[in-house]
A and B are shown apart, each in its own frame.
Chain A
Amino acid sequence: MGTSLAAAAAPMPGPVRLFWRGFAENRGAVLGLAVMLVLLVVAVLAGQIAPYSPIEQFRTHFLAPPAWAPGGSTAFLLGTDDVGRDLLSRLIYGARLSLLIGLSVVALSLSTGTVLGLAAAFAGGVVDVAIMRFMDVVLVFPSLLLAIVIVAILGPGLFNAMLAVAIVTLPSYVRLVRASALSELARDYVTATRSAGASTPRLMFSTVLPNCAAPLIVQASLGFSAAILDAAALGFLGLGAQPPTPEWGTMLAGALQYYQRAWWVLAFPGFAILATVLAFNLLGDGLRDALDPRLRR
């Protein structure tokens, strides 16, 4: 066979290399990965690279324009907001917050969704119907609306906003895990492991789950961007992180009154949201192409 001859000539590329080859073909995905890494560095080193504290108020510099605009100074590269806080420093600390939001929301909905999805697939019957019909009910509500209602009831704040976003994104994980687990359960290797006497939890988590990982990784990456976007929308509506927390959506809400005089207080936080969400969407598209050959363009 041609493949075995080729394999003899050059060692078969490992799975990591194979994955990277598929991933790197997609320029958008590489760009998304680069932006994500930059964000990660900025978030980790926020304390070192931010010129000022995100909540320090310079009372002589209210609404100072960015350095390149008329009247701007290099002391405040991206200008200051209405109470004289350095915009660049707030954006840098905001990156930390956004990644934290994305990570917490995805961790919560991914873990809960995995358990519920596996339970539905393995238990079947009443448990399956109960879990899936509940997810259908959640899906009937537009996700932002349901998140708004949950926060309105629990009270505004970053933690409740993250909880709300995790709840509204839960159904997509549950459905995904259930569907992939069901298709794996029909395969011979699962039957073999079961007849070898593996316990149900072992079957669930160490036999079936790893084989459902590819679509879950893609969903997690796309869920990351959805979480950041929804949490920012809640912040913008005054229901998410509360001032003076430098959350990007909350910063936009605070800038609303001043946008006619000071475009920068509005332009930069929103652009930061867009860039982050875009990066994770590109990354998710690239992961899907690289991990799932069937969907490859």
Chain B
Amino acid sequence: MLRYLLRRVGLILPVFVAVTLLSFVLIRLVPGDPIEVRAGEHGIAPERLAELRHQFGLDQPLWQQFLHYEWQVAHGDLGVSLVTRRPVAAEFFTLFPATLELGLCAMVFAVVLGLPLGVLASVRRGSALDYGLMSAAVTGASMPIFWWGLMMILLFSVTLGWTPVSGRISDLFFVPPVTGFMLIDSLYSDDDGAFRSAVSHLILPAIVLGTIPLATIARMTRSSMLEVLGEDYIRTARAKGLSGTRVVVVHALRNALIPVVTVIGLQVGTLLGGAILTETIFSWPGVGHWLIESIQRRDYPVLQGGTLLIASLVMLVNLGVDVTYGFLNPRIRR
């Protein structure tokens, strides 16, 4: 097991270096000199340009620049935002809890609803219920979530007035950030309504972001369950006279869960991509919203550093999924 773990970690390092190389190359493809780009529309004097190019090491050969960049990344230095002048990594980790909170709630919504619905569809295979659930699931999986979010706002916020349109909490409350998770911080604040306000702000974005994972998990659970329900040991369990519920929940679901867990792990990339759209629609102050703003402001260090951090997170989660899978299933450890 330890050898497997070490090998997986060893494999990830070259990929990480390649990811930094890609982010280094991509940002060099921006038309124009990085310094001129930073100077923006005001322009810059030629002498000052040469001076700054030297200062930032841009007059060195590309490979030296790359090594320098690697050195900085390895020390957690991802550059400084052109707009706020704050380090990119620090900004990222200030905003990331908001994205994490939204993503976790979306995932909980998707799993809590998707697993039972998938099991239900598999048990009632071929019925109108199965047909209805699976039609809803394929529709959900095809959903343009930026439109879905707007339609939800139109219905629940504008027409019914049940939920607020944007943000994480009402302006009436000031919640000092302790954990960065608004749900937890607001519980510990002195204001009574703060927690309720945080929940009402979170619920729509979480549902919107969770829609595609929900549909994927429900479909995956159904097909995985159908496969397991056809196995001999299920027939044996039934023949022993166990109740239908016990066979489904204890014998079948346990084994059907392994591929579903993998799919849940793979949804992390989808969630982070979806968070960009969801956060833009709901003005949710997370990293997705921050990245889109950085594009509008041509804040390239933020775009580069933020993308690198998100890719690193995806890599870590994938590693976690692989290791968990190896732990659950000794056959793939080799």
Contacts and interface: CB of A to CB of B under 8 A. Distances in A.
B314 A259 contact: no
Given A137-B22, A142-B273, A281 B142 contact: yes
Given A148-B291, A236-B277, A266-B150, A282 B138 contact: yes
Interface in A214-261: 225, 229, 232-233, 236-239, 249, 252, 256, 259-260
Contacts of B272: 142, 145
Interface stretch (B25-33, B65-73, B195-203, B237-245): B25-33
A270 interface: yes
A237 B292 contact: yes
B307 A149 contact: yes
A260 B158 contact: yes
A153 interface: yes
Contacts of B135: 28
Interface in B111-164: 135, 138-139, 141-144, 146-148, 150-151, 153-154, 158
A83 B303 CA distance: 34
Contact of A145 (B14, B158, B310, B318): B310
A107 interface: no
Nearest to A273: B144
B270 interface: yes
Contacts of A152: 295, 303
Interface residues of B, number: 45
A270 B19 contact: no
Question: Dominant SS at the B interface?
Answer: helix
Interface in B43-74: none
A31 to B, nearest CB: 10
B39 interface: no
Nearest to A269: B147
A144 interface: yes
A21 interface: no
Interface string B266-281: 0001101110110010
A140 B138 contact: no
A270 B144 contact: yes
Contact of B144 (A28, A136, A233): A233
B151 A266 contact: yes
Contact of A142 (B14, B31, B269): B269
Given A140-B311, A141-B307, A266-B154, 5 more contacts: A133-B15, A137-B18, A145-B273, A155-B31, A229-B142
